[in-house]
Structure 1
Amino acid sequence: MTPQPSTISTSSVSDQEVNRWILENMRDYYYWNDKIPASPNTTLKPAEFFKSLLYSWDATARPDGDRFSWIQESADELKASLNGESKTDGMEFQLYRPAGTDDIYGKVLYTHPGSPAAQAGIKRGDIFYKVNGQKLTSANYSQLLYGDGSTFTYGFAKLQDGKVVTTDESKTVTAVVRQENPILMDTVYTIADKTIGYFVYNQFVPGPNGSTVNTYDNQLDAIFGKFKAKGVNELIIDFRYNPGGYVTSATNLASLIGRGVDQSKVFARKEWNKTLTPELEKQYGKDFFFDYFKTKANNIGGNLNRVYVLTTRRTASASELVINGLRPFMTVTTIGATTYGKNVGSITLDDKNKKIKWGMQPIVSKSFNALGQSDYSAGFTPSIKIDELLTQDWKQFGDINEIMLSEAIYQITGARTARRAAAPQESATVISSSITQKAGGSNMFDKAPVLETHQ
């Protein structure tokens, strides 16, 4: 008998039964399963019970602890969001709080093409300070922006002489359920004697939610086919707002980039918990713990000695997996801010009998590259540090004068496309981002491995 993750077969499910399902699966799969309390309180509500099982991160007491596992009441909604489908107005933003005030300002990172926000003319770099007539503050921003509302009227501000000045301009948008294509844009620049490929990739998703076709992976293959045909010999990857996603998509992308890689070369090695490891090795063999590069016809690694990656604190998980996985094969130069620091992977667990509606995303493994490196739990420190500030004038993606892209082009060509001005003096603190609400922030595996019943 070989069941998938533990199931409950009763037609009416109590909290205690949900908790039993949670506990059985966590004891099997959780990376820190040896830290689960011996006798947890099963009378708690499921979300609280799940949290009570975690080996939670603490900077002093548990610096190796868990920052990433989560549970969601609807497994269907969890899986949809992991595949880029959500209810959204299509505007991704970052929130800033100026020093000495409770005021909050939002700055638009990008809008999804064709979304309500894009159709309303909202674009990267726009600043807003009101939502539905209320000025954003530390006390109300979470409810106004992340609450249950569907229609948002944003009141906008502008930059004037390096300062944020409020205006009377407003735009109203209504959230809809939509699928985000993770490939925002791609282009090729010819500058001096360099042919530079550039693309913006915002989530590792193989295809639309519910699809059996790897539409987005195939689109990336086609982009690299274009890069190859045009003789691209330098590459810039924009992972600024990519919180992660599926390992299969990360492997696919890395296989298009890596120099001298093929299906015999290790992209990543996964370390599972000590009780599960021998069971997995027995059932699947030692190769189960390795992700190998693919042999890709559109690989451009033969023309590359290095790759440049644009990063922020929102660059996480599978994005970092690609950076780490390429390091043994070529020089990887990061430009921007320190990445998030997620060197662990997760799986989606749900009840295959559909009696329990909950879904959980526990951490189940730690990731290493071909050289055994996994030294980025605090993030990758950028080779060239550039911050995106509230009081900067942000250019659009693909504009060669955009601050991070222009720096990458300078590093490649030695010629500046834009003057590198000193960063404005700013004391605003980043406090939140819509990117952190996206569910892609995991090195996710397609499915949980089947476990044999123990006798």
Structure 2
Amino acid sequence: MKLRLFLPIAFLAAFVFSCKEKNADPKNDTETNQWIYSNMKYWYYWTDHITASPDYNKTPSDFFNSLLYKYDATARPDGDRFSWMQESAKELEASLGGESKTTGMEYKLVYFPANTSNVVGIVLYVIPGSPAAQAGFMRGDMFSSVNGQKMTDSNYAKLLNTQEKATYTLADIKDGTLKETTTTRDVTPIVLQEDPVFFDTTYTIGASKIGYVVYHQFIPEPFQGNNGAYDKKLDAIFARFKSSNVNALVLDLRYNPGGYVSSATNLSSLIGKVTANDIFYYKEYNKQVTETSLKKYGESYFYDKFKAKSENIGANLKNLVVLVSSRTASASELLINGLKPFMTVTLVGGKTVGKNVGSVTLSDEKNGIEVGLQPIVSKSLNKDKKSDYHVGFEPDVKVSEGNILYPYGDPRDPLLGEALFQITGTHVTRQGRSARVLQEEERAELSSTVSHKAGGSNMFFDR
């Protein structure tokens, strides 16, 4: 929930450093830590657990981490899993707006074979026009070596953690066996803006007219664009769905780690059978923020309502199926939780992350503070005041996408195929896999670039 509360934040920063001049020199660690402490003490959801005697001699990163009420399954099951700090506030703000230095290729890493130390990369999607796209990478491609070295669980991080040109060697899985090919592709990262509205289509199956949308991140517009371009792109898609009399929707959030609440509100308002008077979600803050904000803004500060959207398809919608996975988090889960009081939401895929809390971007570059903070500041609840997904949403139908990936929109994709079956009762085309195989696939997955994207599951912020 990127609470993009830049005015309140700027006000707070000005209050804390009222004697400082603008465009000052970068602060030393002690001054930076004092700024971190003042802001965290005011905003942090668990402010009561922040020490009264901090050690200002630490590096800013260590100092920030020392203030956190960290999650522990036994000692602090209610603790913080999601707050983070970035050394560059500029890079933090850009990444939250979908801009970063990247090859344009998102991938997951799996052990293959499952019980070995061998690691294989499987491309999840490629940003059009990116270096990876220009090199020929596509969803479903696999690579087993980087710069001539085969990836293992002991070297993959070093091989992949580079901002320089890298050479990937492609591989194939045939009859359950991995075979490295002689094909290589060179890719160099660049600063790139990602359009999160990635794919859409419709299907007509019997009496069902089904819309399908792939959405990768809740971002309203390009970084510093201030034009709502991506929200408007979704509006246009739903306008087409409405004119086509779509009566079922498959929303693909399997690779969506979160984003801006404003975009979650916009998308939810296109889907639900709701009015502009209905509550989308409530926000719960610490005592200090609550008291200050109540006096300054009133009760309306603590909830967001749906928007009135002429493109809304809720009145005609009989089925909503959301595709989810272990990478689905934050604003994605907010949308699911916010729509549940108004309609049946069927989840297909894997268990979601479980981020029912929101964060705010804190920065003060004008006063020489170089770091950017993204601390948890609130808890989120739906219209019925429910917020019981802190351990993640369990899917109604558990399905793994597997290691052989199909293009978006292809019903052979296990998640999409199951969604179409849930809506129509007809297997358009489906790959059945046993529960044992599903468990093996889950155990084999090591990580994914989506999980580290702009804070990964940390992302969920107000605007």
Shared fold (TM-score, shorter chain, > 0.5): yes
Q: Aligned AA for 2:391? A: A
Q: Aligned AA for 1:357? A: E
Question: Of 146, 158, 178, which residue of structure 1 is paired with 2:161?
Answer: 146
1:101 equivalenced with 2:101 (yes/no): no
Gaps of 5+ in 2: 1-7
Matched position secondary structure for 1:80: helix
1:406 equivalenced with 2:420 (yes/no): no
CA-atom RMSD, angstroms? 1.5
Q: Quick one: distance in 2 between partners of 1:354 and 1:205?
A: 28
1:113, distance to aligned residue in structure 2 (A) = 1.4
Deviations 1:276-314 (A, max 9, x none): 211110100001000100010000000013310001100
Q: Aligned AA for 1:430? A: E
1:6 equivalenced with 2:13 (yes/no): yes
CA distance 1:305–1:371, shift in 2 (3 Å): farther
Deviates more, 1:124-133 or 1:6-15: 6-15
Residue 348 of structure 1: aligned partner: 361
Instruction: Summarize the alignment of residues 1-150 of structure 1 with structure 2, pairs less than 5 Å apart.
Output: 4-7=11-14, 8=17, 9=20, 11-98=25-112, 99-147=114-162, 149-150=163-164
Deviations 1:175-210 (A, max 9, x none): 111100001111111111110000000000000001
Contact 1:111 1:117 in 2 (8 A): yes
Instruction: Summarize the alignment of residues 55-454 of structure 1 with structure 2, pairs less than 5 Å apart.
Output: 55-98=69-112, 99-147=114-162, 149-259=163-273, 261-351=274-364, 353-390=366-403, 393-423=404-434, 425=437, 426=440, 429-439=444-454, 441=457, 442-446=459-463
Q: How many residue pairs get matched?
A: 441
Q: Quick one: distance in 2 between partners of 1:327 and 1:36?
A: 35
Deviates more, 1:127-136 or 1:7-16: 7-16
Matched position secondary structure for 1:350: coil
Matched position secondary structure for 1:353: helix
Residue 450 of structure 1: aligned partner: none
Q: Quick one: distance in 1 between partners of 2:386 and 2:26?
A: 47
4+ residue runs over 4 A deviation: none
Gaps of 5+ in 1: 447-455
Contact 1:204 1:245 in 2 (8 A): yes
More helix by share: 2
Matched position secondary structure for 1:4: helix
TM-score by length of 1: 0.94
Deviates more, 1:132-141 or 1:173-182: 132-141
Deviates more, 1:114-123 or 1:22-31: 114-123
Identity %: 51
Q: Quick one: distance in 1 between partners of 2:38 and 2:117?
A: 44
Q: Aligned AA for 1:84? A: G
Residue 453 of structure 1: aligned partner: none
TM-score by length of 2: 0.93
Deviations 1:397-455 (A, max 9, x none): 01122111111111111111113322484465212110122116422112xxxxxxxxx
1:143, distance to aligned residue in structure 2 (A) = 1.8
Deviations 1:121-142 (A, max 9, x none): 2111111111111111112211
1:165, distance to aligned residue in structure 2 (A) = 2.0
Q: Quick one: distance in 2 between partners of 1:354 and 1:398?
A: 49
1:12, distance to aligned residue in structure 2 (A) = 4.8
Contact 1:314 1:340 in 2 (8 A): yes
Q: Aligned AA for 1:270? A: K
1:48, distance to aligned residue in structure 2 (A) = 0.5
Q: Aligned AA for 1:177? A: V
Matched position secondary structure for 1:241: coil
